[in-house]
Structure 1
């Protein structure tokens, strides 16, 4: 007997969005018809606040990752995340009404809107999380692999089952094409009980014809059939470079695209606006850092270093010095947690990312931009190129002060971390968009505010 249909991630997100939408509409209705003095209410006000409210809530939710259902979140985190995002939302709606309509308010209904809306959204999300702890949501997977991908079987299996990420997939059956002779009855019976086929092979032309018939029959019966690359990209928002040999084209899926004019304009505006803001902060910080350096971090104020940028060309990067003088007299070495070379004052600079501010000079010179892969030194690039044949593809765009890898993965301490971060860099290069850039900007701001990282 076939298993009942399981809601996929998109369907679960849709249910979550519908619940949020109903709560937000009801809350905005209370705000407009009860909180605002009736003499200010007009069709223009109603339309403007409803439109602004709905759009701002879902834009904030997307950028701040409120709809990431793959993270294994504690109930406490689910509630607090919903509370602070929705609290920010009700505040900007209130501010919008005051600034653009100069409205006056009834105190009690206004407090109901400002306080109860975040609580309602948080309770709805807590209910949603508890319901899907009871309802079966995990898809049983049949993993197909070949001789080329067999060496990475354990890592692939681990990625599908998930660890910190709740993938909603579990490998229940695996099949090695290298051992294929003929389809056995036991395999056919077992394949009927899986919900998804995940295929990770190098050469699809060598896919056995009899197994292909079974696969096509499964598709006709509504089973999901996807490549491992697609699965990994959808779940982890990264590209699986370590477990996919040298299948360069399948991973990056390079294709001829029209110039993304809107994203180009957006990137220009981001670089312009943030250059002014960060440049102003740099001017403010220089006297203080210079003064404190005299007592707590004796030596040059700035630290310069050559990094690899666009098309593999080297350029000079600038930072406030946070390490002892001649920190690399014994050779190039990546910074690690609790690095003894970092001075006490330098550690403070790093915690609040103040040491990064002089990089604005590289942005102004045109060597860098604000969002992109972090530039690495040539000595490490050469080592990584020997380990990963297509590491150089991250140099297809200008390097950035912040990027997708920086907000999604921990601080890189070794070559293994650099390879892992490459998965996120390639994902960004492939999926660059305005919304992805906004997510990176917001995540960078929260990283700085909460002092995460070295």
Structure 2
């Protein structure tokens, strides 16, 4: 009898989303039809409040990572976060009606809306987390690999089991197809495979699969079990490309194919650059006099500094920033900046926290050497080192470099070459999956990073 499939993370998030949506709609119904005096209620008010309420709730949810299943699974965290976000939601909906519509309220229904909504969302999410503590959520994995993946076996297993995050996958069994002493027909192995929920394959050539193992894999597929490549697993879970998995597998990683020109993407990119160039340029002009004045007292020396960076097609260009380090910070040679770099001045720390030091890069955008969204430009000395170490690094230069990008909003501050490798995984993911939706996510995450002073 086929085994019931374990709900994946997307399906669990969807269930959570449905529950939240029903509660939000019910609370908005209470607010509109009972808390507000009926003589003020109109079709226009209903549509406006419901639209504003839903957009506000899901905007807050996205900004504050409300659908992170790892956080939802922690009982203490799920209650505090639910109350925190929902209180913001009801407060903004209430303020919206106060400032936009001249209405009066019934006190008890209004208090019910303000107090019960956070409690209802919190209880629903507590129930959700408890249910999935009973229902299996982690998939037991059979990891199949070849001798090419053997050198990084330990690292691959760590990523599947969770590299600092809950992947909801756990390796229970491994099999190397180059193993001469095959034990595919042994009863213990067959019993172990029966308990497997997902197969993850990390192979150079899928034609090398032993016939017996192929039969078992096909049988698992018929029993609705998951069979995916390691690259697909990594891309779906980490939203990055596993460049250490297959140094030879250039085509598997990027799935190069002849695509039609995406006119909407081109138009969207042009509009984003035009609008943000105007807004950031205006902000740069406003901020410059203040930075110049404070720089005289707290950061003596040139207000701007420039560096040569590698841009599109490997061409170097000058990038400008407000100086945040001491003068002659690289007297002893080129060195990557670190998060708590001793060369950063106290005033420079303030500039960096609020990303003010990045504003002069608008000059490069106006010149056409940079764009707002794309891989961050690196210095040639580091590019040469990374090109020697990584066969895919040059792919970043297919596109214009950006002020912000997927690697910047997904990974911590890069401090060494190892961090650059991890960031390259995100850059390759962006190049492969570049779309309007992904660009919007980057813009949104960049804005929230600046507003909440989050390090990336």
Which segment is superposed worse, 12-21 or 128-137? 128-137
Whole-Å separation in 1 of the counterparts to 2:43 and 2:453: 45
- Which residue of 1 is the match for residue 238 of structure 2? 236
Correspondence for 1:274: 276
Q: Which residue of 1 aligns with 2:185?
A: 184
Q: Distance in 1 between matches of 2:353 and 2:47?
A: 44
Within 5 Å, which residues of 2 pair with 1:260-299? 260-299=262-301
- Which is further off, 80-89 or 163-172? 80-89
The 3 A distance-change label for structure 1 pair 292 and 24 is same
Per-residue deviation, 1:157: 0.4
| CA distance in structure 2 between the partners assigned to 1:120 and 1:3 by the alignment | 34
Aligned 1:272-351 pairs, distance under 5 A: 272-351=274-353
Partner-residue secondary structure (3-state), 1:173: strand
Which runs of structure 2 are paired with 1:27-426 in the superposition (5 Å)? 27-54=27-54, 57-58=57-58, 60-62=60-62, 64-70=64-70, 74-94=74-94, 97=97, 103-180=103-180, 182=182, 183-185=184-186, 186-426=188-428
Cα deviation for residue 339 of structure 1 reads: 1.6
1:430-453 Cα deviation digits (max 9, x unpaired)? 223333333323322332233333
* 7-16 vs 62-71, greater mean Cα deviation: 62-71
Return 110-119 or 207-216, whichever deviates more.
110-119
Please list the CA deviations of residues 163-190 of structure 1 after superposition, one character each: whole Å capped at 9, or x if unmatched.
Answer: 4211111100000011145422232222
What's the CA shift for 1:317?
0.8
Go from structure 1 to structure 2 and tell me whether the alpha carbon gap of 1:180 and 1:54 turns closer, same or farther (over 3 Å shift).
farther
Matches of 1:142 and 1:75 in 2, distance apart?
31
Question: Please, which moves more after superposition, 327-336 or 104-113?
Answer: 104-113
Structure 1's 134 and 88: CA in aligned 2 closer, same or farther, altered over 3 A? same
Give the conservation status (yes or no) of the 8 Å contact 1:2–1:193.
no
Mapped pair 1:10 → 2:10: yes
3-state DSSP of counterpart to 1:178: coil
Q: Do 2:73 and 2:129's aligned partners in 1 also have CA atoms closer than 8 Å?
A: no
Give, in whole Å, the separation in 2 of the partners of 1:74 and 1:128.
11
Q: Given that residues 64 and 443 in structure 1 are in contact (C-alpha distance below 8 angstroms), is that contact kept between their aligned partners in structure 2?
A: no
Residues 79, 427 of structure 1: CA spacing in aligned structure 2 closer, same or farther, 3 A cutoff?
Answer: farther
CA contact (8 A) 1:63 1:435 kept: no
Range with greater deviation from structure 2 (264-273 or 45-54)? 45-54
* 180-189 or 9-18, larger mean C-alpha shift: 180-189
Q: 1:108 to 1:310 in 2, by over 3 A?
A: farther
Q: Find the residue that maps to 1:398 and give its secondary structure.
A: coil
Note closer, same or farther for the CA distance 1:85–1:306 as it changes in structure 2 (3 Å cut): farther
Does the CA contact (< 8 Å) of 2:312 and 2:397 recur in 1? yes
Distance across 1 between alignment mates of 2:106 and 2:278: 41
Q: 1:256 deviation in Å? A: 3.0
Describe the SS at the equivalent of 2:387: helix
Change (3 A) 1:114 1:283: farther
RMSD after superposition: 2.5
CA contact (8 A) 2:71 2:78 kept: no
CA distance in 2, matches of 1:108, 1:269: 48
TM-score, normalisation: structure 2: 0.91
Q: In the alignment, which residue of structure 1 is the partner of 2:437?
A: 435
Structure 1, gaps ≥5 residues long: none
C-alpha contact 1:307 1:314 (8 A) present in aligned 2: yes
- Structure 1 residues 9 and 272 mapped into 2: Cα distance closer, same or farther (>3 Å)? same
SS of the residue 2:306 aligns to: strand
Quote the Cα distance in structure 2 between the aligned partners of 1:363 and 1:79. Answer: 44
In structure 2, how many angstroms separate the alpha carbons of the residues matched to 1:108 and 1:142?
Answer: 57
**Deviations, residues 71-118 of structure 1 (Å, cap 9, x unaligned):** 686444434443444444445544655666655444443343344323
Distance 1:72 1:36 in 2: 33
Q: 1:357 deviation in Å?
A: 1.2
Give 1:151 shift.
0.6
After TM superposition, give the deviation of residue 39 of structure 1 in Å: 2.0
Query: How many Å apart are 1:253 and its aligned residue?
Result: 1.6
Relative to 1, partners in 2 of residues 1:308 and 1:246: Cα closer, same or farther, differing over 3 Å? same
Q: Which segments of 5 or more consecutive residues in structure 2 lack a partner in the other structure?
A: none
State the shift of 1:65 in Å.
3.4
Task: Write the deviation string for residues 117-161 of structure 1: whole angstroms up to 9, x where unpaired.
Answer: 234323322332233233321111000000001111101100111
Is the CA contact 1:195–1:223 (under 8 Å) kept in the aligned structure 2? yes
